[in-house]
Amino acid sequence: MRILITGACGMFGRDLIEVLSEGHELYLLDVKPFPVSLSSQFSTLPLDITDGEKTYRQVTKINPDIVIHTAAYTDVDGCETNRDLAFRINGLGTRNIALTCQRFDTELLYISTDYVFDGEKGEPYAEFDRPNPQSIYAKSKYWGELYINSLSNRFYIIRSSWLFGKNGKNFVTTILNLAKEKKEIEVVNDQIGSPTYTKDLARAIAQLIGAEREDSSNRANLYGIWHITNSGQCSWYEFAREILQGSGVLVKPISSEKLNRPAKRPKFSVLDNYVWRLQGWEPLRHWKEALKDYLKEIK
């Protein structure tokens, strides 16, 4: 299969490359310079997805079977002060990708976020629950979803949450770095979600886009919205305690109000992987088990 990955230099993009490189023809796009390790193995092209004309030319030149669209502006607080940039990348950039895929009947897989929900439901969100994004980041990502829904016929929208992986900055590395400098760390305890290992998410996506090709007459059976996360849930405080277990560093709970971040986060954004279960597939492993493997990997 010819697979084009946008945002290929990002944390999740790098794990997708690792998981999908065997048995598939990969093409990598990113606005950032590519490291030698990628450019020497794969076809790599610099691309700013906010440029509609260039996006159209590059994607059509490759003529992929599927585009996996991971490119995004993911600095949640940064989006609050860079509103136009957030909507340009996450909204219009996604529109440019969706339009190109639609014109050439190419499948599109879009990575979205648990933050499209307001967190007021009090129980896990299923794929059919109505989004109500609160922050600029969440609104811009949901705008991307709306573009795909209206412009594309052959798509997967994958909502995931609290991603951590070896190829980028994430909550785990932030906590580990703070633990080198401090004996006490304050972490919010009133935001609940499901930490998700990027490698596990990449494997799940490989299963999703591969399974539908087992029967070529039913290619469209798995299109639509999916929630895919590791199993289990916790607060950021509980997540931090698990990361630093046995380190001797004291983790203290604080409220979101006291932390006073620029962007509003949902209080409870756990995603119910309902469609995944209906499909009869095994749930992804518990986030604690995934975290153990990740800590071994980075050490």
3-state secondary structure of 95: helix
3-state secondary structure of 169: coil
> HSE on the CB side for 151, CA within 13 Å?
22
CB 188, CB 253: distance < 8 Å: yes
Helix crossing, 94-103 with 52-62: angle to 10°?
40
Active-site choice (73, 115, 125, 137): 137
Closest by alpha carbon to 72, among 164, 163, 145, 10?
10
Q: 133 CB contacts (<8 Å, ≥6 apart)?
A: 115, 116, 117, 118, 139, 141, 142
Whether 27 sits among the annotated catalytic residues: the reply is no
3-state secondary structure of 32: coil
- Would you state the structure tokens that stand for residue 98, as one six-digit string? 């969706």
Q: 126 CB contacts (<8 Å, ≥6 apart)?
A: 227, 272, 274
Give pairs for 171-175: CB < 8 Å, separation 24+. 171/195, 171/236, 171/239, 171/240, 172/243, 172/291, 172/294, 172/295, 172/298, 173/298, 175/240, 175/243, 175/244
φ and ψ of 63, to 5 deg: 55, 60
Q: Which residues does the annotation mark as catalytic?
A: 137
